[in-house]
Amino acid sequence: MKIIIKETDIEQTLALVDPRSGVDYVRDFIGNHGALADGQFAYDEDRDGYLCSQETYDWWHGVLSAEQELEDRVHALRVRYGTDAVEAALSKAGNVDLEDYAGVANAALDETFATGTPAGLTTFPELVTWINNRCGVQDVREEVVRAWYMERGGRYEDITEEDLQVFLEDAYEDPANFVDAAPAPVPR
């Protein structure tokens, strides 16, 4: 989004890019928060850009920089742990002022994903989903996950990222561990 600073006539840019699609949605983000309608920004057709004060630009630049870092982190966590786990963590952030949201959301993500248990898993379906999100192409058979989980004593809070990585490495050694695998040959 092209910005022209009123006091200096200097051109700047504001951007907020969705890491999944690569689409810059900064106008939508700013507009959804009322700043295109409340006078913070005024569109100049002749210059094909938005006029604003230096103070407004600085404030939005800071908010958008923090939001971009958060968006990138959320995207990486979704790939690693699954959307449901990340959304559950973000729901703990609550309603705060826009300039505080990225910090509060990051704290909620830290609380969930900094523990020994990946993604704060609390149910078996969450564990299966998390593992299958990590596998990519094929899903690990649920009974294989259940057997491994029960061998570990059935305690989610004791499962670490390292444990799951070892599990996945072991699972890949036998193609029969995956949902789309051909049936195992019948012994003769």
Last residue of a domain, one of 68, 88, 114: 114
Q: What percent of the chain has pLDDT over 90?
A: 42
Co-location of 128 and 39 in the same domain: no
- 21-25, 36-40, 119-123, 150-154: range with lowest mean pLDDT: 119-123
Arithmetic mean of pLDDT, 106-124: 67
* Domain extent at residue 38: 2-114
Q: CA 134, CA 143: separation in Å to the nearest integer? A: 17
Please indicate, yes or no, if residue 185 is contained in any of the structural domains.
no
| 3-state percent breakdown (helix, strand, coil) of the chain, nearest 5 | 55, 10, 35
Task: Give the dihedral sign, CA 89/95/96/97.
Answer: positive
Residue 20: what pLDDT?
87
Is the pLDDT at 122 greater than 80, yes or no? Answer: no
Please indicate, yes or no, if residue 183 is contained in any of the structural domains.
no
Co-location of 99 and 139 in the same domain: no
Co-location of 16 and 89 in the same domain: yes
Co-location of 136 and 110 in the same domain: no
Residue 116: what pLDDT?
43
Number of domains forming the structure of the chain: 2
Arithmetic mean of pLDDT, 160-165: 72
pLDDT band at 184; cut points 50, 70, 90: very low
More confident call, 127 vs 33: 33
Please indicate, yes or no, if residue 184 is contained in any of the structural domains.
no
Please indicate, yes or no, if residue 148 is contained in any of the structural domains.
yes
In this prediction the pTM is: 0.61
* Highest averaged pLDDT of the listed ranges 83-87, 134-138, 152-156, 178-182: 83-87
Co-location of 154 and 82 in the same domain: no
